[in-house]
Copies of this chain bind each other. A is one copy, B any other.
Amino acid sequence: MRVSAKADYAVRAAAELAAAQKEESPVKGERLADAQDIPLQFLEHILLELKHHGIVRARRGAKGGYWLARPADEVTVAEIVRAVEGPIAHVQSTPPEDIEYRGNSKHLQEVWIAVRASLRSVLEEVTLADLVSGELPSVVGELTAAPDAWVAR
Residues of A in contact with B (beta carbons under 8 Å apart): 1-5, 7-8, 11-12, 15-16, 18-19, 35-37, 77-78, 81-82, 85, 87-93, 95, 97, 101-108, 110-123, 126, 130-132, 134, 136, 139-140, 143-144, 146, 149-153
CB-based contact B143/A114 at 8 Å: yes
CB-based contact A131/B108 at 8 Å: yes
CB-based contact B150/A113 at 8 Å: yes
| In the bound complex, CA of A130 to CA of B134 (Å) | 38
In terms of DSSP, what is the predominant structure of the interface of chain A?
A: helix
Contacts of A77 in B (CB 8 A): 111
Among A105, A126, A130, A149: residue with most chain B CB under 10 A? A105
CB-based contact A153/B91 at 8 Å: no
Closest residue of B by beta carbon distance from A145? B117
| In the bound complex, CA of A124 to CA of B41 (Å) | 40
Contacts of A117 in B (CB 8 A): 143-144, 146, 149
| In the bound complex, CA of A88 to CA of B6 (Å) | 17
12 further A-B contacts with Cβ under 8 Å, apart from A8-B92, A111-B126, are A2-B90, A3-B115, A15-B104, A15-B105, A19-B104, A95-B152, A97-B150, A104-B131, A107-B136, A111-B122, A118-B119, A120-B153
CB-based contact B104/A114 at 8 Å: no
Set B3, B102, B108, B140: member contacting A90, Cβ < 8 A: B3
Contacts of A36 in B (CB 8 A): 102-103, 105
